[in-house]
Structure 1
């Protein structure tokens, strides 16, 4: 796996890799943009960041899934803050890959065991939900862009 491209702009307010990981592990929802036949399609999703990849679970009979099977390129944004001086976020770009069966029925899959449990611990009180409607996608970002306006200080 190659490292994501370095951020070229706004480096003054960029997060360090450790800050990116801490931020992504703290927040709960990302906004995912796909390329559809009718243009961009953006939707919110729960996610899991493992330090190297963004894991997403998606309905396998959704517009998002259809878009990604035709064009696996994706952008995901996680952001936080209300006032200008507290805005921060991370954008991850790359192509997703399907991991496991579609839809997920619970067949043993070594890569998904830790992901599903970590996702369950984060969102469903530790109970792994396998509903036969969702499937797993992994984004190993090709580019990560971050911003933390708190680094601007006060004027």
Structure 2
């Protein structure tokens, strides 16, 4: 069952493109919507190291994220909730691998090679971040109102 749930979570994440990342830092809670790519069940994105969510992660790596399509029908509500730890990817080779995965998922990133120098330079300066989840919940109201399945990836305590 955990392998099947893992596969269903991965498949769902692959159909979506934007996550809402929640962080907490010195100025309190914060949420940001970000493009992501899935790496295992980890979520990867690029961001300015000076953005509020990036600064929050630097001071407190505990984060939560949601991914869900927009719908007005209760039976169509589906999504993933997760919490875990996020960090900047400082290993150059790993950051390059993850940037390539993002560019593969989002063609506009491949087109940056033909973009004006200022835009290429700005993108080259953003940092790569990764959320490694401890706990993942798959929500699927098509299987019953409030239907949830939980995948524990790391033991608590």
1:21 and 2:13 equivalent?
Answer: no
User: What count of residue pairs does the alignment treat as equivalent?
Assistant: 133
Structure 1 or 2: more helix by fraction: 2
Counterpart for residue 85 of structure 1 = 75
Runs of 4+ in 1 over 3 A off after TM superposition: none
In the TM superposition, residue 126 of structure 1 has moved relative to its aligned partner by 5.7
Counterpart for residue 69 of structure 1 = 58
CA distance in 2, matches of 1:135, 1:110: 13
TM-score, normalised with respect to structure 2:
0.75
Counterpart for residue 44 of structure 1 = 33
Consecutive unaligned residues of structure 2, counting only runs of 5 or more, are 113-119, 146-157
Instruction: Please say if residues 79 and 88 of structure 1, whose CA atoms lie closer than 8 Å, have aligned partners that are also in contact.
Output: yes
TM-score, normalised with respect to structure 1:
0.76
Structure 2 counterpart SS, 1:80 = coil
Instruction: Please say if residues 61 and 133 of structure 1, whose CA atoms lie closer than 8 Å, have aligned partners that are also in contact.
Output: no
Counterpart for residue 142 of structure 1 = 134
CA distance in 2, matches of 1:125, 1:39: 33
1:115 and 2:104 equivalent?
Answer: no
Structure 2 counterpart SS, 1:116 = helix
- Matches for 1:1-16 after TM superposition, within 5 Å: 16=5
Consecutive unaligned residues of structure 1, counting only runs of 5 or more, are 1-5, 7-14, 102-108
CA RMSD across the alignment: 2.2
Counterpart for residue 106 of structure 1 = none
